[in-house]
Structure 1
Amino acid sequence: MDEIVKAALAKWPNVPACTGWLLLDRRGQWRMRDEGAQARGELGTPVRHEALIGFINRNYECDESGQWFFQNGPQRVYVELAYTPWVVRLARAPEGGDASCMPAPTLTAHTGTAFEPAEVFIDDEGAVLFVDDTKPPRAALLHDHDLDLFSDLATFDDESGGRLPWGAARTLSIGRIARSVVPERFGFVASPATKAAKRG
């Protein structure tokens, strides 16, 4: 969290949170949603300003109930999730060198940080999810532009799953999962706005 944000929180600790105005789409883009977009159920307008994107990325966190938010100074802005709280890009390992010490492919989150996977799942709609081993585990949707690369790297046994080589000495299992159970399984709230409306 930025120091300027920490200072604002200390100065104005009781600013009400807001919901519905910021969304993370399936390609890792932040989108602003005005009242019209919210009413129509639209994704909203992509944020294009690089400094603002960087500010959101650095101050993106999760509360104790699994709701992800952007701490905008003293105000907590809860994020609507088009699917998972993280979106990752997959890159092939560099070519060349000794095959016995071949580096693993890499995953980079939408925030620009590295994402180290422990498991892989394919949901019932064909989306690929990477899950890390943090506590609680973070689930990340693979950007759809990288599905072909994933298919090139993975080996599929049958309808139940497969394997994904991850460097010379490690292989990740690929399991199957229903999209409907993903939020509960990995402990996140897809729509804080809906949750707030039910409380109210």
Structure 2
Amino acid sequence: MDDIVRQAMAKWPHVPDCYGWLGLDARGQWYMRDDRAQALGAFASGVAGARGSVLRHDKLIEFIQRNYESDAQGRWYFQNGPQRVYVELEVAPWVWRVAADFSVRSHSDRPAQVQACWLDELGRVFLSTDLGLGLVHTLDVDTVAQAVEQGLWQPQEVVFADLPARFGYVLSPAAEQRNTSAP
């Protein structure tokens, strides 16, 4: 986490959390979700426009990625100064890029050590690592196939709906927050 972020948290400790405004898709792209996008539906709903606008500003993306973490409940967030901005996940908290030498880096360029390989009912490949669970980027599935052929990774079948509970992450903190604050 950036020092300036820690300083802001200390200076303003009671800033309310933010829900629904930031999303991470299955290709590791960040989305800003304004009121209009949120009104169209959930981030992962598939409804046109519900994802919001893809972020293109490199410095903003780098800032988000340096300050991207999870809380004790498995909700992923971006610490934006004193405010915690919870992230809507399309599939998983990480999107893995796999290099030709089978090394793995996250969408935020963090290195990771593979612990297990998973294949869901839609044919998507997931890797559990020392950083947590993530989806393999679609461009790198062939490289994973090579690792499997060489016996480096042994894919295990898994049902996608079971992954969040099994690996301790929340796909939609906004939906969870709405459910806990409803009368």
Q: Give the TM-score normalised by the residue count of structure 1.
A: 0.83
Pairs within 5 Å for 1:17-166 = 17-41=17-41, 42-93=50-101, 105-133=102-130, 138-155=132-149, 165=151
Give the letter aligned to residue 149 of structure 1. T
Greater Rg over alpha carbons, structure = 1
**Match of 1:175?**
156
What is the CA RMSD across the aligned residues, in angstroms?
1.2
Matched, 1:185 2:152: no
* CA distance, structure 2, for counterparts of residue 113 and residue 133 of structure 1: 11
Q: Secondary structure at the match of 1:76?
A: strand
1:49-96 CA deviation, whole Å, 9 max, x = no partner? 111011000100111111000000000000000010000111112xxx
| Structure 2: distance between partners of 1:181 and 1:110 | 23
Give the match's secondary structure for 1:21.
Answer: strand
In 2, Cα distance between equivalents of 1:88 and 1:151: 14
| 1:104-129 per-position Cα deviation (integer Å, ceiling 9, x unaligned) | x1111011111111100000111100
CA distance in 1, matches of 2:148, 2:153: 9
Letter in 2 for 1:142: V
- The alpha-carbon deviation at position 150 of structure 1 amounts to 2.2
Aligned pairs, how many?
173
Structure 1 ranges of 4+ moved more than 3 A: none
The structure that is helix-richer by fraction is 2
Q: Give the superposition deviation at 1:151.
A: 2.4
CA distance in 2, matches of 1:132, 1:144: 18
Residue identity in the other structure for 1:19? Y
Gaps of at least 5 residues in structure 2 are 42-49
SS of 2:56 mapped into structure 1 = coil
Query: How far is the alpha carbon of 1:142 from its aligned partner?
Result: 0.4
Q: Counterpart amino acid of 1:37?
A: A
- Percentage identity across aligned positions? 44
Query: What residue in structure 1 maps to residue 44 of structure 2?
Result: none
Q: Give yes or no for contact 2:148–2:154 (8 Å, CA) kept in 1.
A: no
